[in-house]
Amino acid sequence: MQNQDSLLTGLNNKQLEAVTLPHQSALILAGAGSGKTRVLTTRIAWLIQTGQISPMGLMAVTFTNKAAKEMLTRLTAMLPINTRGMWAGTFHGLCNRLLRAHHREAGLPSTFQILDTADQLSSIKRLMKLMNVDDEKYAPKQV
């Protein structure tokens, strides 16, 4: 486990400012290659290490599965905590998790499925065929 000072070592001024913001919601916007994953991971570790939050008392959201996995891997290396069950992942992944946990409130069956673009197109084609709709006249991608 890294101590508080070693967690902050190597951060530039803007990164340090973002990492050490008081415990509150924070939106960190930055361009490619600017260290977003590092800042987010270090902020989480710093908040946990300083006792401002518990590991299960935060939600960390990224855009890609790669960044989410990297964030959890780095966090595990920084602190001796179990990241399993933490609310950390992509927007899609976390929303899926929320819907699975609260499917009744959302009016969904527990076995609901989320369709990607290819699945949607396949379903439309199947329904058009079942309903004898001419796919030459009505392009499935336009339906």
Regarding whether 140 and 99 lie in a shared domain, the answer is: no
Pairwise CA distance, residues 114 & 88, whole Å:
20
Regarding whether 81 and 31 lie in a shared domain, the answer is: yes
Higher pLDDT residue, 75 or 4? 75
Regarding whether 75 and 130 lie in a shared domain, the answer is: no
Q: Residue 102 sits in which domain range?
A: 4-110
Q: What percent of the chain has pLDDT over 90?
A: 57
Regarding whether 105 and 63 lie in a shared domain, the answer is: yes
Residue 4, pLDDT score: 63
Regarding whether 132 and 73 lie in a shared domain, the answer is: no
| Arithmetic mean of pLDDT, 57-68 | 87
In this structure, the number of other CB atoms found within 10 A of the CB of residue 22 comes to: 7
Regarding whether 138 and 98 lie in a shared domain, the answer is: no
**What average pLDDT does the chain have?**
89
Output the six-digit token pair for 96: 């899926």
Residue 59, pLDDT score: 87
Regarding whether 127 and 97 lie in a shared domain, the answer is: no
Task: Provide the domain count of the chain.
Answer: 2
| Arithmetic mean of pLDDT, 29-55 | 88
Regarding whether 103 and 54 lie in a shared domain, the answer is: yes
Residue 128, pLDDT > 90, answer: yes
Regarding whether 104 and 118 lie in a shared domain, the answer is: no
Regarding whether 36 and 24 lie in a shared domain, the answer is: yes
Regarding whether 76 and 119 lie in a shared domain, the answer is: no
Cβ pair 7, 15 in contact under 8 A: no
Q: What percent of the chain has pLDDT over 70?
A: 97
Residue 36, pLDDT score: 83
